[in-house]
Structure 1
Amino acid sequence: MTTYNLEVLNQYKTHLHEEERSQNTIQKYLRDLRTFLVFTDGQELSKLAVLAFKEHLITAYAPASVNSMLAAVNGFLEWLGFPQYKVKQLKIQREIFSKPEKELSQREYQRLIQAAEKKNNRKLALLIQTICATGIRVSELRHITVSALHTGRTTVSCKGKNRTIFLPKELCRNLKHFCKEQGIQSGTIFLAKTGKPLDRSNIWRMMKNLCKDANVEPSKVFPHNLRHLFARTYYKIEKDISRLADILGHSSINTTRIYTIETGAKHARQIDRMQLVLGYRSVT
């Protein structure tokens, strides 16, 4: 990657900040663009170069990841003034069932909390419950403050939008006890040893350490899956996807639908009960 490319990326980073993109989005875009620039290896930008990168991605990544990376490149090309070099994303049929090996159940969620408690990691146990009981994003955890425990709600700002997140009464009580034990009198509750808010990598690593004791597959254990469990649980009760989209802070209901899909086990039971297959009669 040349100095020129690095300079351009820094300028584009400033542009993304001015567009009020979230920090996580900016980091992701820049990471994808570095991958693109390494692949093109200093050659002149052209439609053929972008198409070659697209073909490379198809052989190395899942379709959803390919589209995500192409979105980053297309946005960059638009900003550079080369919209003619943009390429089409892959057409992906929307999945109506999730993969069982990825879906975290309520029982597994409870076992993770119990495993954290057995390890005397009260902080992690409460952190897991806070994410799952509110549907909050990891990047928004800094808004879970001591003052929020007294009002039972907190206001978060993400992607230029503000929304109110309500905290269950039992969660507030438990967090108040924790703050009293830890001498936390004000500010953000969940902090790293450095004094900064815990980030996704910190939480991911701590949660993975619970998998063996909780008897939960590691593929199911990551912070964002707690948000998915919140969404599925809420939707089972309310069946109001528009309201759920507002609660999660989604600008599109299509994104929320991804959160509410299930493994298909219920659908399999339903079609069995339809009894539309006759018994097999052998010919003797």
Structure 2
Amino acid sequence: MFLEAQAAELGAATNTLLAYGRDLKDFESWLNRQNHRFDDVSRADVENYLVFCDAQGLAKSTRARRLSAVKQLYRFAFEEGLRTDNPAIQISGPGQEKRLPKVLSVEEVDRLLSAARSMGRNDTDRVRNTCLMELLYATGMRVSELVGLPVSATRGDPRLLLILGKGGKERMVPLSPDARDALALWIKMRDEVEAKNTALKKPASRFLFPSRGKEGHLTRHWFYMLIKDIAVAAGVDPSKVTPHTLRHAFATHLLAGGADLRAIQTMLGHADVATTEIYTHVLEARLSELVLDHHPLSDTATRKDSGKTSSDGQ
């Protein structure tokens, strides 16, 4: 009932529902071992479950997410009259370690985009892969939004893309000239492939990036593996490169170029500007690093120069 309500009332994405389901299944398994059921849980039981999760060595972020799922479940039960109280309402989470996202430099992104143009078994693959990468960096889309794009939203050489984001919220994001060129070329090739499939009585796809899988479009996992291969080909550390780091790069590079934080918030689809503000910290950290590495009076630069001089002397 809880998961159905999340899907129907809040428009929660499939991945969000799956995450809730996994976390609550784990909680249910623990309750079964304690001879408890969801409906007779007390605050002490929820706290004991968190102690159990900690003893398992789970990361703070995982424990915080599981507590969030439990809290949402019991809030729903209270609001629906299934319980007269919410046993988790006053429990504080473990807190999450604040880590700045990994950010790629403009030069690294350029190498990735260049490598994508030669990545694939044939011209169709290469044009599709180029389009995927150009759109991701040009718009800052989430990977699920990218692979699930309907082709109808991209017809007619658009200057703006209409993206359906979390919770069914729509937003408009401008396209760069390079992204528009890559998109136009891919749509032409995609339509040629679709025309051949139609001639063979195969059903037409409504997606920009169709696939024979059950979802009808390329999957997040497939694209995750592709971008790692592209990173290797580009000579960029694969551990730094995920679809989400391209989203981070989009935001950070815009901010560095003088873009307004509120505009970036709108383009990323963040509900709260506080989420977007992380990129100001990323930029500050990057600028500090540049100063420490390159300013002639910094200790780091001095050590590098002295090391170089010592090496040259030898």
Q: Does TM-score exceed 0.5, indicating one fold?
A: yes
Gap change, CA 1:224 and 1:265, over 3 Å in 2: closer
Residues 24-53 of structure 1, C-alpha deviations (whole Å, 9 max, x = no match): 221221122122222333532232221122
Q: Tell me the residue number matched to 2:86.
A: 83
Paired positions, count: 264
Q: 2:138 aligns with which of 108, 121, 133?
A: 133
Seen in structure 2, the aligned counterparts of structure 1 residues 91 and 107 have a Cα distance that, compared at 3 Å, is same
Range that drifts further, 70-79 or 33-42: 33-42
Unaligned runs of 5+ in 1: 1-10, 280-284
State the SS of the aligned residue for 2:257: helix
Unaligned runs of 5+ in 2: 79-84, 196-204, 303-314
Instruction: Indicate how the Cα distance of structure 1 residues 93 and 223 shifts in structure 2: closer, same or farther if over 3 A, else same.
Output: closer
Alpha-carbon offset, residue 249 of structure 1? 0.8
Distance in 2 separating the partners of 1:267 and 1:173: 36
* 2:229 paired with 1:209: yes
Moved more, 220-229 or 206-215: 206-215
Per-residue deviation at 1:13? 1.4
Report what 2:13 is aligned to: 22
1:207/1:222 contact within 8 Å kept: yes
Secondary structure in 2 aligned to 1:165? Answer: strand
Q: Is the 8 A contact 1:148 1:154 kept in 2?
A: yes
Q: 1:198 aligns with which of 213, 218, 222?
A: 218
| Counterparts in 2 of 1:269 and 1:220: CA distance versus 1, 3 Å | closer
Measured after TM superposition, the shift of residue 16 of structure 1 is 0.8
Instruction: Give the equivalent residue in structure 2 for 1:74.
Output: 71
Question: In the alignment, which residue of structure 2 is the partner of 1:145?
Answer: 151
Task: Quote the offset at 1:106 in angstroms.
Answer: 2.6
Q: Determine helix, strand or coil for the equivalent of 2:255.
A: helix
Partners of 1:62 and 1:106 lie apart in 2 by: 32
Give yes or no for the alignment of 1:257 onto 2:277: yes
Give the letter for the 1:67 counterpart: A
Which residue does the alignment assign to 2:200?
none
Residue in structure 2 matched with residue 4 of structure 1 by the alignment: none
Q: Which residue of 2 aligns with 1:6?
A: none
Distance in 2 (CA, whole Å) between partners of 1:155 and 1:225 is 22
Q: Which residue of 1 aligns with 2:307?
A: none
Secondary structure (helix, strand or coil) at the match of 1:103 reads coil
- TM-score, normalisation: structure 1: 0.80
Q: How far off its partner does 1:227 sit?
A: 0.8
Give the whole-Å Cα distance in 1 for the aligned partners of 2:278 and 2:59. 16
Q: Does the aligned pair in 1 maintain the 2:70–2:88 contact within 8 Å? A: no
Q: Distance in 2 between matches of 1:268 and 1:259?
A: 15
Q: Which residue of 2 aligns with 1:7?
A: none
Q: Which deviates further from its counterpart, 248-257 or 28-37? A: 28-37
The superposition leaves residues 210-259 of structure 1 with CA deviations (integer Å, 9 ceiling, x where unpaired) of: 33322222322221111111110111123421221111111111211234
**Alignment match of 1:35 (pick from 26, 30, 36):** 26
Match of 2:164 in 1: 157
Q: Which one-letter code corresponds to 2:154 in the other structure?
A: A
If you compute each CA radius of gyration, which structure gives the higher value, 1 or 2?
A: 2
Asked if the contact 1:228/1:260 (under 8 Å) is kept, the reply is no
Cα distance 1:64–1:259, how it changes in 2: closer, same or farther (>3 A)? Answer: farther
Offset of 1:153 from its aligned partner?
Answer: 2.1
- Aligned residue number for residue 241 of structure 2: 221
Looking at structure 1, the residues matched to 58 and 93 of structure 2 have their Cα atoms a distance apart, in angstroms, of: 13
Q: What is the aligned partner in structure 1 of residue 198 from structure 2?
A: none
Cα distance in 2, alignment partners of residues 196 and 145 from structure 1: 12
RMSD over aligned CA atoms reads: 2.9
Moved more, 108-117 or 69-78: 108-117
